[in-house]
Amino acid sequence: MISLAGRDILHGWGKFVFTGAGLGLLLGVTLVMAGVYRGMVDDGMALLDNSGADLWVVQRDTLGPYAESSSINDDLYRGIRAMPGVAQAANITYLTMQVRKGQQDVRSMVVGVASGQVGAVPGWPTYLTAGRQMTRSHYEAVADLATGFRIGDQLDIRRNRYTVVGLTRRMVSSSGDPMVFIPLKDAQEAQFLKDNDAIWQGRRRTEANPTFNRPGVPGLLNAVQASQSSNPYVNAVLVTVKNGHDPTEVAAAIRRWKRLTVYSRTQMEEILVGKLIATSARQIGMFLVILALVSATIVAFIIYTLTMDKIREIAVLKLIGTRNRTIAAMIMQQSLALGIIGFAVGKISATFAAPYFPKYVLLVPIDSLIGFLVVLVICALASLVAIRMALQVDPAEAIGG
C-alpha cells in the first residue's frame, strides 16, 4: 500500500518544508521562552551551588543575604564554627555595583570571600576556566566570563584597584549579574568606606560635635574618628555541615544558641525561587501560555489551509472509493510530520539562538520532551478539524464546480 501522505508531501514538498520551518521558528521562540524561565531559576540555583554552603547564617529575622540585606559581626563565625556538626564556617559579603575597568563599567555582584586554603573555604569560585585562584589577601580578583574582563585587567572597585587573576563561568547573582570575587577585607572596605570627600566631611562633622571634641580631653577626637572608619560587618556566614550530621539539626542549634536566622538549602531555594524571582517567573509563564496558544492556533490554521488546498483531490479520492480512514490517516500523518519538522527546526534554532540572549537561557531536555509531546498533541487535535472538513466533502466536487 502506498503512503498517501508521503506522496502528497513529495508532491508539494517545498511548501511543506517551508511551512514546517516557519512553524519551527515559532516553536523555537516558545522553547527559548521556557529556557528564559529555566535560566532565571538556574541563576538562583547557581548562586546557591557556587556558595558551596549547606547553611546560610544571616541577621536575625531577615531573608538575607540574597533577598534582603543582612549584616552581622565578622567575628560571629568563630562561635558558629565551634557548634557541633559544623565543618566550615566562613564570612561572606555581597554587594551589587558597577565595576569599572577604564572607561567602561559592568554591573556585577562583588563577592568578598574569606581567606584560607583554596578548596577548603565555602564561598570561593568553585571552578575556573582560566588563570588561578586568589593568593594575596588584598587587591586580587576572580571575575566571571560574562563581565567581559580578561586576565590581567585592572578593575576599580570603590577606592582600590584590583588585578584580575582568574576567570570563572556561570557565577551569577540571582538577577543574573556576573560575580567578581575579591578578598573579604577589601570587600568590607568597599561596602563601608566612602569616598574621600565623604570621609573628610564626616571628620569635620565629628569635630564640630562638642561631645567628641572636648578641649580638656586631648585624643578623644582621634579615638572617635578611628572608631568611625572601621567596618566589622559581613552579610552572612556560609556553613558547611560535617558528613553524617543533619543540616536541619545543626541549623536549629545555631538558631537557638546563637540567636541568628539560619536557612537551609531548601529554604534558600524557596526564598530565591518563591520570593525573589516569583513575579518575573509568572510574567514569563504568562508569555509561555500565550505563545503556546498562538502556536496551537497557527498549527491548526496551517493544517486546515493545507487540507483545503487539496480538497478537490480529496474529493477525487472519495470518488474513486478511497476509505475515509485512509484520507483521515493521510491528513493526520501530514500534520504530525509537520509538527516533527517544526519541532526539530525549533529545537535547533532555540539551541543556536540561546547563547546570544543577554541573560542566561537554559534549555532543559525535559522541557523539549514536553514541548515535543505538546506539539504532537496540538498537531493531532488541529488535524481533527481538517479531517472533519475532508470527510464532509462531497465527491461530486471533484467533477463539479
φ/ψ of 122, rounded to 5, equals -65, 150
Return the residue of 242, 256, 323, 388 that touches another protein, per CB under 8 A. Answer: 242
CA 190/CA 155 separation, integer angstroms = 13
Say whether residue 227 binds another protein (CB under 8 A).
no
Closer to another protein at the Cβ: 101 or 347? 347
Which residues, 6 or more positions from 86, have their beta carbon under 8 angstroms from its beta carbon?
Answer: 80, 239, 240, 241, 242, 250, 254
What is the enclosing helix (H) or strand (E) of 57? strand 55-58
Which residues inside 100-139 make contact with another protein, applying CB under 8 A? 115-120, 122, 126-133, 135-139
Closer to another protein at the Cβ: 126 or 206? 126
CA 263/CA 194 separation, integer angstroms = 31
**Candidate segments 163-171, 300-308, 314-322, 326-334, binder of another protein by CB under 8 A:** 163-171
CA 368/CA 338 separation, integer angstroms = 17
Say whether residue 13 binds another protein (CB under 8 A).
yes
User: Which SS3 state, helix, strand or coil, does residue 317 take?
Assistant: helix
Is residue 279 classed exposed, middle or buried when 0-12, 13-18 and 19+ CB atoms within 10 A define those classes?
exposed
Closer to another protein at the Cβ: 354 or 387? 354
Which residues inside 301-330 make contact with another protein, applying CB under 8 A? none
Return the residue of 51, 108, 240, 264 that touches another protein, per CB under 8 A. Answer: 240
Return the residue of 102, 321, 355, 400 that touches another protein, per CB under 8 A. Answer: 355
Min CB(324)–another protein separation in Å? 26
Min CB(262)–another protein separation in Å? 18
Spatial contact of 167 and 145, defined as CB atoms under 8 Å apart = yes
Which residues inside 27-86 make contact with another protein, applying CB under 8 A? 49, 52, 75
Radius of gyration for the alpha carbons in the chain, expressed in angstroms and rounded: 31
CA 219/CA 281 separation, integer angstroms = 57
- In the chain the first and final C-alpha atoms are separated, in Å, by 31
Q: Of 92, 121, 50, 261, which is closest to residue 188 (Cα–Cα)?
A: 92
Say whether residue 384 binds another protein (CB under 8 A).
no
205: left (phi over 0), alpha (psi -120 to 50) or beta: alpha
CA 286/CA 93 separation, integer angstroms = 35
Min CB(345)–another protein separation in Å? 7
Say whether residue 170 binds another protein (CB under 8 A).
yes
CA 264/CA 131 separation, integer angstroms = 32
Closer to another protein at the Cβ: 100 or 245? 245
Say whether residue 214 binds another protein (CB under 8 A).
no
Cα 148 from chain centre: 18
Say whether residue 15 binds another protein (CB under 8 A).
no
Say whether residue 148 binds another protein (CB under 8 A).
yes
Min CB(303)–another protein separation in Å? 19
User: Which SS3 state, helix, strand or coil, does residue 367 take?
Assistant: helix
Which residues inside 76-95 make contact with another protein, applying CB under 8 A? 87-88
Closer to another protein at the Cβ: 52 or 395? 52
Closer to another protein at the Cβ: 149 or 263? 149
Return the residue of 84, 102, 210, 365 that touches another protein, per CB under 8 A. Answer: 365
State the residue for C-alpha cell 590581567. 152
Min CB(70)–another protein separation in Å? 21
Asked if the bond preceding 65 is cis, omega within 30° of 0, the reply is: yes
Closer to another protein at the Cβ: 100 or 185? 185
Q: At what angle do helices 324-353 and 365-392 cross, to 10 degrees?
A: 150
Closer to another protein at the Cβ: 49 or 156? 49
Min CB(74)–another protein separation in Å? 9
Interface residues with another protein (CB under 8 A) are 7, 9-11, 13, 17, 49, 52, 75, 87-88, 115-120, 122, 126-133, 135-139, 145-146, 148, 165-166, 169-170, 185, 216, 218, 232, 240, 242-243, 341, 344-345, 347-348, 351-352, 355, 360, 363-365, 368
